[in-house]
Amino acid sequence: FSANASKARQATSRKKTLEKLTLEDIKPSSRKSPYINFEQAREAGNNILNIDHLSKSLDGQVLFKNFTITVEKGDKIAFVGPNNIAKTILFQVLAGEIQPDGGNFKWGASISHAYYPKDNAKYFDVDCNLIDWLRQYSDNTDEVFVRGYLGRMLFSGDESFKQVRVLSGGERVRCMLSRMMLAQPNMLIMDHPTNHLDLESIESLNKGLEKFGGTILFTSHDHQLIQTVANRIIEITPRGFIDRPNITLDEYLSDENIKKQLHRLYS
C-alpha cells in the first residue's frame, strides 16, 4: 500500500508541476519516443463482455461483490478509486489468471484480448535475449519481423540481443507493450501501464490508446491518461460500484451527486 501511495503522490506532483508550466518553459527533448500503435487483426462484433454478479474476497476482505456491467463496443473504461488491489484482482479474473468467488463473465465470440499486468516479473524469468523473447509470442518468427517490433520500442542494433533478465523496469514495460501490439487484439486490459515509463513513452502510450479503435479496460495513476482516453468511469468498492458512461475524469471528480454516492459507499 505504501508503494501505491507513493506513486499516487508522484502522479499528483507531476500533474501540479505540469499545470505550472508555460510553453516557454518547455524545452524540446532530444530523447526519442517509442512508436506505440495497437492494430486489430479482427474488428470485434457488438457483443464484447458481460459481467454478472462477480464477487471476490482476499484474506477475508471483500474486494468487490455482485459486480455487474455490460461492456459495449468502443468503451474505454477507466477503473478508478483507492483500492488498487481490487482493480488488479478484477483484471486478473477477467484475464483468466484467477477464479472469482462468485458470479461469472462471458467474452464475446469475436473478442481477442491482450492483458498488461501490473507485475510482469514472471514474463522475464527466462534465459534468452530480446529477439527470442518476443519471437515466442509471434506467429511470424522471422528475425527481421520481430526486430521491427523491437525497433518501434527503441530496441535496435545490439540492444536486440540484450538478456531479458537484466532489463530495467521501463525496458520491461516497453517489451510488454511490444508483445501486446504483436497480438493485434481488439480488447486491451491494462493495469497501471505507465509505471516505470519516461515522459516520452507515456505520451506515446497516451496517443496509442486514444487512437486505438477497439475496447479498453484500464487503470492508472496518470490523470492525463485517464482524462484523454477514458469515455466511461467505473469505481468499485466493497459495498457496491459506480458506473458512469460518457464522462471524463474531471467531470466525474467534480460531480456532486457522485461525491454523495461515494460517501455512502465508503462510510
Q: Is the pLDDT of residue 158 over 50?
A: yes
Contacts of 255 (CB under 8 A, 6+ apart): 244, 247
Q: State what percent of residues in the chain have pLDDT above 90.
A: 88
Q: What is the pTM assigned to this prediction?
A: 0.87
Q: What pLDDT score was predicted for residue 32?
A: 84
Question: β-strand 61-71 against 49-58: which pairing, if any?
Answer: antiparallel
Reduced to 3 states, what is the DSSP secondary structure of residue 187? Answer: strand
Q: Is the pLDDT of residue 6 over 70?
A: no
Contacts of 23 (CB under 8 A, 6+ apart): none
DSSP secondary structure letters along 53-81? EEEEEETTEEEEEEEEEEEPTT-EEEEES
Closest CA to 249 of 15, 6, 13: 15
Closest CA to 78 of 267, 265, 222: 222
| Grid cell locating 166 | 537484466
Q: How confident is the model at residue 30 (pLDDT cuts 50, 70, 90)?
A: low
Closest CA to 241 of 48, 9, 51: 51
Number of domains in the chain: 1
Mean pLDDT across the stretch 203-221?
98
Q: Is-contact 83 223, C-beta < 8 A?
A: no
The chain-wide mean pLDDT, for the chain, equals 91
Q: Is the pLDDT of residue 255 over 90?
A: yes
Q: Is the pLDDT of residue 1 over 90?
A: no
Q: Is the pLDDT of residue 15 over 80?
A: no
Q: What pLDDT score was predicted for residue 12?
A: 57
Residue 218: give the domain boundaries: 2-266
CATH at residue 206: 3.40.50.300
Question: β-strand 102-107 against 76-80: which pairing, if any?
Answer: unpaired
